[in-house]
């Protein structure tokens, strides 16, 4: 398990699809981000699809499961929180990321609820541009785009 501080905290709020979470475990393992899952989860953590998508990276990733969003944010009291939504004006490339930022993503297929988007800890709502008429990217594809941009901006620490 990595011992260094994560350059970013990736939060999946009430994820529903085990394969996406398995892919997020892999993303955390290869970048050093810390993955946080907010309950309820739409699957059991022992599901085969989750294990298969994560391959053999489960032991290399740092992942925590939390009962609420407030529980996650209590673990990073000074961190900025960026909530990703299609309904934002700030683009992910407009953000200057800093070590320890929280990247908050909503569940498939609904996205973040207003209670998360309006949380007092949210620093900004952020979007990933898409062509008009498209609903959303795959959850872990979206997280990957942002995680790699944040990691690039923080100098690919540990790579």
**Residue 74 covered by a domain:** yes
Nearest to 37 by CA among 51, 57, 55, 17: 17
We report the CATH number of the domain holding residue 45 as 3.40.1280.10
Sequential pLDDT tens for the chain (159 residues): 344 688 999 999 999 998 899 899 999 999 999 999 999 999 888 767 666 555 566 677 889 999 999 999 999 999 999 999 999 999 999 999 999 999 999 998 899 999 999 999 999 999 999 999 888 899 999 999 999 999 999 999 888
**Residue 35 covered by a domain:** yes
115, two tokens: 């209670």
The CB-side HSE value for 77 (13 A sphere, CA atoms) comes to: 1
Range of the domain at 114: 8-153
């Amino acid at each position: 398990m990595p011992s260094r501080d994560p350059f970013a905290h990736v939060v999946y709020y009430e994820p529903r699809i085990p394969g996406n979470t398995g892919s997020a475990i892999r993303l955390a393992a290869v970048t050093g981000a810390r993955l946080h899952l907010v309950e309820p989860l739409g699957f059991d953590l022992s599901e085969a699809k989750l294990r298969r998508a994560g391959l053999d990276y489960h032991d290399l990733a740092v992942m925590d499961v939390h009962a609420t969003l407030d529980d996650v944010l209590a673990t990073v009291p000074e961190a900025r929180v960026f909530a990703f939504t299609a309904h934002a004006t700030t683009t992910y490339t407009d953000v200057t990321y800093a070590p320890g930022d929280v990247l908050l993503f909503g569940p498939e297929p609904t996205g973040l609820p207003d209670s998360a988007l309006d949380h007092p800890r949210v620093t900004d709502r952020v979007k990933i541009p898409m062509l008009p008429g498209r609903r959303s990217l795959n959850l872990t594809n979206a997280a990957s785009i942002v995680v790699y941009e944040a990691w690039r901006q923080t100098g690919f620490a540990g790579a």
